[in-house]
Structure 1
Amino acid sequence: MLREHLRETFWFAPTVSLVLVFVVWALADAVDTLIVDTLRREEDFRSLRELMAIADDAKTIVTTIASAMMTFIGVVFSISLVAVQMAAGNYSPRVVRIFIRSRISKLTFSVFLSTFLLSLLVLTAFESERNPREVTSVPVVQSILTLLMVALSLLLFIAYVTQTLQLMKVGPVVDRVTKEAFGALARMPKPVAPGEPLGEETVRISHQGRSGALRDVEVIRLVRVARRHDVVLRLIPRVGDFVVPGTPVLTVHGGAGRPLPFAARRALQSAVSVGVERTFQRDLSFGLRQLTDIGLRALSSAVNDPTTAVQCLDRIVQYLAVVAHRPLGTVYHQDRKGRVRLVQPVSGWDDLVDLGFAELRGCAVGNPQVTRRMMAGFEDLLQLVPPERRAPLERHRDMLVRAVRQSVREPAEGDFALEPDRQGIG
C-alpha cells in the first residue's frame, strides 16, 4: 500500500535522486583523490599535469552545464504544466493523475535535478592550486560522470516529450485508463466460496482521522489481525466511498464475544487508508468513472466531440466484457489455512453497467454516432454475458430506444440512429 501511495506523489523520486547524487559524488570524489595520490606516490607528475589540463577543459563544460540545466528544467516543467492543463480541460480533471504517476516524467525531472546538483558539487571540487606536487584532487571522474548525466538527460528529454505528446491525444489516455482499470481487477483475489456464516457482530471499528475517499485497505494486515484473534472482519464501505470521522468502516464477527485489545483496534484503523481522491487500488469502478467522465465532457455542448465518446464506449464495452463472467459484489480474503478472514464489498454487475451507460445514454440522444455505437455495445455484451446478467443491459437498451424515438420525429432518422455500428458511423 505504501508503494502505491508513493506513486501518487511527485516529490518522492526527485528527493531520493538528490540524496543519491550526494552519495555518487562522494564516491567519485574519493576515486579522483585516490588517482591523484597514486600518481604523486609514483611521482608521475607528467601524467598528473595532463590530468589537470583535462580537468581545466572540463571545468568550462561543467560550468556551462550548471548554468544551462536550470533553463532546461524550466522547459520541462512548463511542458508538464501545459500538458496537465490540456488534459484536465479536454478530458477530465481525474486523468491528471496519469501525469503524476508517469514514471518517465518523474525520472526525467529527477535526472535533470540530479545533473544540476552534480554539476554544482563538481565545481566545488576544482582547486586553484596549479602545482602538481601540492594538488590534492583533480575532478576528472566527476566531470566524466557529469557528462554522462547530461547525455542521459538528453535521451530522457526525447522520451519525455514523446510520451507527453502521446498523452495529449485521447486514444492513449483512454488506453492508459483502461489498463489501470484492468490492473485493479487483476489485484482482486481469485473468487472463493463464502465459507461459514460470519456469526454475530461483536464490535464496530469507526474511522478516525480526516474525511475523504476510502482509497485502499491493507488486506494483509487485516487478515493477520483477524487470524491472530480468530475473528472475521467485514469492510462496510466500498473502496471509493466517502467517509467522515466516526463512520463505521469495519465490523468484527466471532471471537467468542471477547473484545479486541486496544492495539488490535489501532491496527485495524491504520489499515484503512483515506485520502482526498480515489485511486485504482482495489477500486473496480474508478476506471469506468474516468471513461464516463471523458465521454460526458466530449458530449457537452462546449466540446461537441462524439468521436471521443465513441472511443470511451469502446473501452467501457471492453471492460464489461472482461468482467462479464467474474463474480462481483463481494470479495472474500482468506488466510494461509484457507479460512475467510475479511469480507470486502465491491461493485456489482448492475453497478458497473449503470456507471458505464446511464449518464452517457442520457447525453447520447441527438448524436447518432454515439447511439449507434452504444447499440452495438449492448448487442455484443448480450451475446457474452450469462442469462442472469442480461437484465441491466436490456433495460438500458430499451431506455435508449425510447429516448431516441421520442426525440426524433422522422422514423427513418430514428432507425438510422439505432442501427448497431461498432464505429458509430463507420
Structure 2
Amino acid sequence: MDSPANRHVSSVRLFRIREFLVSRLWFVPILCVLGGVALSFGTIAVDRLFGGSAVPRVLSGDPDAALAILTTVAASMVTLTGFVLTVTMVVVQLAMGQFSPRVLRTILRDRPSQFAIGVFVATFAHAMLVMREVKSPSGGDDGYVPGLAIIVAFVLILVSIMVLVSYVNHIGQSLRVASIIQSVGDETRELLDELFPEEPDEVEAPAGSPEDAPDRVVPSPKSGVVFRVDAEELVRYARDADVVLVLVPHIGDFVPEGAPLFDVHGEAADLDETALIRAVALGQERTMHQDLAFGFRMLVDVAQRSLSSAMGDPTTAIQAIDRLHDCLRQLATRPFPSGFHTDEQGRVRLVVPTLSWDGYVNLALDEIRHYGEGAVQVTRRLKAMLDDLILIAPADRRPPLERQLRLVEAMSERGFDDREDMDAAIEPDPQGVGSTR
C-alpha cells in the first residue's frame, strides 16, 4: 500500500510535469505532429482498403500531379513554420525590451502561436508520409495515388491558410501595449479571486498558533524560488507527527540551499523531512500559481520601464496603474487569509506567511512613485486612484493609502517648480491628463 509520502510524490510530479509542458512552446506542436501522422496512416489505410479508388482520380490527380502537390505543400509548410517561429521570437524580444522580462512566460504560453506552428508541422508530416505511397506509372501500370490522403492534404492546406491569416491578426493584436497589460491584469485578477474570496472559510488566526522558538528546523536541500505549497499534504504530515509546521519563506521568495524552509514546533521524531520538502515546489522563477504579488510585480515592472528615461512613455504606465487600481480595489474590501491551516479537530498544523494589505499597497505604488516623479500624468492618476481607494476602504486599511497620498503630494511639490504646475499635477484624473475639465 502506498504511503502518503509516495502519493504526494506522484502529485508533485504530475504538477511539475503539467507546468513544464504547458509552459513550453513545443508541446502543442508535437501533439499536432502526432495527430498529422495518425491522420496520414489512417487515410493511407483506407486508400489501401479500397485499392486507391476511394476518391476518383479526377479529384486527386495523376501520380505526377500528386507528387508535385505534396512536394509543394511540404516545402511551403517548412517556410510557414519558420515564419511563425521568427515572428514569435520578434515578439519575445520586443516584450523583453519594452515591457518586462517577466511577461515572457505569458507569451511563450500563447496557445494561438503554438497551434499555428502545430497545424503547419502536422500538414508537413502528413504530406511527407503520403508522398511515399504515390507510385509513378511504369509499363502498363497507371500508378497508384492514395486519393483520400491527397484530399485530406488539400483540406489541411486550406486550414493552414486560415490559421496563417488568423495568426497574423492575433500577433498584430498581441503586439499592442493594452493586450499585454490586459493579459497580465486578467491573470492577476483570476488569481486574486481564487486566493481572496469574498467569504473565506478562515480569516482570523486560530488560537494555539506557535510563538516560541522552533524545536527543529528543516533546511532546503537546494536553492530556488518557492512557487507552490501543498497545504493539505503538509497539514496531514503535521497532524500525523503531532507538530506545527511554519513555512519560513513567503511564496515567491528565493531560498538558498541550506536555508531554513520549515520551523517545526513540537516533538518531531516521527516527522518525515523528505515528505515535507517534496510538498514545496521550488523553481527557477516566480509563477502565478499561488503568488498574487508576482502579478503586481509584473504590472509595476511595465509601469516602471515605461517611465524610464529610455522609454519616456507615461501613458503606458497609466494603463498598468489602471490594472493595479482594479486589483487594489478588490483587495481593499476583502478579508485576507490568515495563513493558518488547521486539521479536522481545529488545531493549527501549518502556518504559511502571507503578504499584508500594507505590503500590497507598497508593492503597487512605491516604485511607480519614485520613477514617476515629474510626470504629471502619473501624479494625477495616482491621486485619483488613492482618493477612490480611501473612499471605499475600511477604516483600518486607510493608513497606508493616506501615507501614499501624502507621498504623492510631496512628490508633486518636488517635481515642479511653478505653483500652478504643482496644483495641476495633484489634481485627480482617472486618465492622467484628459478627464478633468
TM-score when normalising by structure 2: 0.85
SS at match of 2:25: coil
Indicate the residue corresponding to 2:154 in structure 1: 147
Give 1:212 shift. Answer: 2.6
Indicate the residue corresponding to 2:116 in structure 1: 108
Asked if 1 retains the 8 angstrom alpha-carbon contact of 2:40 and 2:149, the reply is yes
Asked if 1 retains the 8 angstrom alpha-carbon contact of 2:237 and 2:271, the reply is no
Match of 2:402 among 371, 382, 394: 394
Q: How many Å separate the matches in 2 of 1:286 and 1:147?
A: 46
Indicate the residue corresponding to 1:97 in structure 2: 105
Amino-acid identity (%) = 36
Indicate the residue corresponding to 1:156 in structure 2: 163
SS at match of 1:291: helix
The answer for unaligned runs of 5 or more in structure 2 is 1-14
Mean CA deviation greater in 192-201 or 178-187: 192-201
Match of 1:241 among 238, 245, 253: 253
Taking a change above 3 Å as real, the CA distance of residues 228 and 292 of structure 1, as seen in their structure-2 partners, is same
Q: How many Å separate the matches in 2 of 1:405 and 1:227?
A: 57
Indicate the residue corresponding to 2:271 in structure 1: 260
Asked if 2 retains the 8 angstrom alpha-carbon contact of 1:55 and 1:139, the reply is no
Taking a change above 3 Å as real, the CA distance of residues 105 and 61 of structure 1, as seen in their structure-2 partners, is same
Asked if 2 retains the 8 angstrom alpha-carbon contact of 1:373 and 1:423, the reply is yes
Give 1:375 shift. Answer: 0.3
Letter in 1 for 2:103: V
Letter in 1 for 2:217: R
Where do 1:285-364 residues align within 5 Å?
Answer: 285-328=293-336, 330-333=338-341, 341-364=349-372
Letter in 1 for 2:270: P
Indicate the residue corresponding to 1:36 in structure 2: 51
Mean CA deviation greater in 147-156 or 195-204: 195-204
Where do 1:158-237 residues align within 5 Å?
Answer: 158-188=165-195, 190-193=200-203, 194-198=205-209, 201-209=214-222, 211-226=223-238, 229=241, 231-237=243-249
Task: Count matched residues.
Answer: 413
Give 1:99 shift. Answer: 1.1
Q: How many Å separate the matches in 1 of 2:423 and 2:56?
A: 87
Q: How many Å separate the matches in 1 of 2:323 and 2:60?
A: 62
Asked if 1 retains the 8 angstrom alpha-carbon contact of 2:74 and 2:128, the reply is yes
Letter in 1 for 2:357: W
Indicate the residue corresponding to 1:17 in structure 2: 32
Q: How many Å separate the matches in 1 of 2:27 and 2:41?
A: 22
Letter in 1 for 2:43: A
Indicate the residue corresponding to 2:413 in structure 1: 405
Letter in 2 for 1:33: R
Q: How many Å separate the matches in 2 of 1:337 and 1:125?
A: 69
Indicate the residue corresponding to 1:4 in structure 2: 19
Give 1:312 shift. Answer: 1.1
Taking a change above 3 Å as real, the CA distance of residues 50 and 166 of structure 1, as seen in their structure-2 partners, is closer
Q: How many Å separate the matches in 2 of 1:174 and 1:305?
A: 14
Give 1:290 shift. Answer: 0.9
Give 1:398 shift. Answer: 0.5
TM-score when normalising by structure 1: 0.87
Taking a change above 3 Å as real, the CA distance of residues 51 and 378 of structure 1, as seen in their structure-2 partners, is closer
SS at match of 2:228: strand
Asked if 1 retains the 8 angstrom alpha-carbon contact of 2:224 and 2:282, the reply is yes
Task: Tell whether 2:262 aligns with 1:250.
Answer: yes
Give 1:147 shift. Answer: 2.4
Where do 1:82-93 residues align within 5 Å?
Answer: 82-93=90-101
